[in-house]
Amino acid sequence: MHWSNDWSIFTELWDDQVVLQFHKYWNAPDTDSIRDYLDVRDRLDVPIWLGESGENHLAWFQGTFGMCDDLGIGWNFWQWKKLGTRVSPVSVRVPDDWHLIQAAAAGGDRPDPETAAKILGQYLDNIALDACEQHQDVVHAMMRRAPLRLYAAHIPAGGEGVSWSATRCDTGLRGFRESEGVTIAFTDPERTGEVSFPATGDPYPRPSDALEIRLAAGEWVIYCFEVRDAADLTATLLGATSPDTRLRLSLDGTDLPADPSALGHAATALGRVGVGPHTLTVTVDNGWARLSAIDVGTRQT
């Protein structure tokens, strides 16, 4: 295994200016998946850095890079600019007849020199940053920056009493946050087994891979987000509840006056939210809730 994923060779430090880096792709965005790196950090008292990551969907970005922020791990989004992508901050527009270049690269017929020069010339023009497509939702997901969709299963990495409080864990879910006590399950009631995080090129999880938090009375979860420019924001909770559910939504520890129990049907006003980091806490006071996401957006007038 490459040293960027296998740190067994690091038994001591040979310099006091060392940073250890790892790579992370297509696996669970949870602390269990990086436990070995965290253990080495603690044992050697050395800073660690996620030096290469990306190539997934928005929920995975929120979970992975948010986790790194929570745990004090620096990170680098590797694929910040690619050709014809929807899951990078910047996408180079695909030139006309690009399939001819792809076919030639795969061993097929080559386009004539004039055609090839035209295609590649357009490619060079399209590389310029101001000619590229900008995907702000990718940036907002990795930075947990409003406006964004906060995917419910990707709660912060603070642990019990900090990021969540739960009285039971009965999901049977495998491969994601298994060491934590909050109940996470597939939104599809027919889906069982291990969670997977494949790179499909789509910015959203496949419906069969979608996850939800299941909360009973007395349980709560916290979500982090940041605001770059002060704005009037709203939060819309998505999921399902029991008929007798009573929810409480809090911003930065202060309960909001509105009851957000009608999930997906009404936006709760957060008021004027200032620049900086913020938290949203969802508490179930009665009944139960299955929370799949929270849409944090600009208030419509």
Domain boundaries, the chain: 94-131, 145-298
Q: What is the pLDDT, as a whole number, of residue 106?
A: 95
Residues 183 and 215 sit within 8 Å (Cβ to Cβ): yes
Tell me, what DSSP letter sits at residue 233?
E
Distance CA 19, CA 13 (A): 10
Residue 110 host element (H or E): none
Residue 70 CA to residue 67 CA, distance in Å, equals 5
**CB of 24 closer than 8 Å to CB of 49:** no
Query: How many Å apart are CA 250 and CA 234, to the nearest integer?
Result: 12
Instruction: With 0.85 as the threshold, say if the pTM is over it.
Output: yes
User: Which pLDDT does position 1 carry in this prediction?
Assistant: 40
Cα four-point dihedral sign 25, 139, 210, 179: positive
Cα–Cα distances (Å) from 139 to 105, 135, 276, 293, 299, in that order, read: 32, 7, 16, 18, 21
How far apart are the C-alpha atoms of 122 and 106, rounded to whole Å? 21
Per-residue pLDDT of the chain (301 residues; tens, 9 = 90+): 456 788 988 899 988 899 999 999 999 999 999 999 999 999 999 999 999 999 999 999 999 999 999 999 999 999 999 999 999 999 999 999 999 999 999 999 999 999 999 999 999 999 999 999 999 999 999 999 999 999 999 999 998 999 999 987 665 678 899 888 889 999 998 888 889 999 999 999 999 999 999 999 999 999 999 999 999 999 999 999 999 999 999 999 999 987 777 677 678 999 999 999 999 999 999 999 999 999 999 876 5
CA distance 249 to 242: 17
**Which fold, 145-298?**
Jelly Rolls (2.60.120)
Structure confidence by residue, pLDDT tens digits, 92-131 = 999 999 999 999 999 999 999 999 999 999 999 999 999 9
pLDDT at 98: 97
Side chain identity, residue 280 = L
CB distance 253 to 195 below 8 Å: no
Identify whether the C-beta of residue 123 lies closer than 8 Å to the C-beta of residue 95. Answer: yes
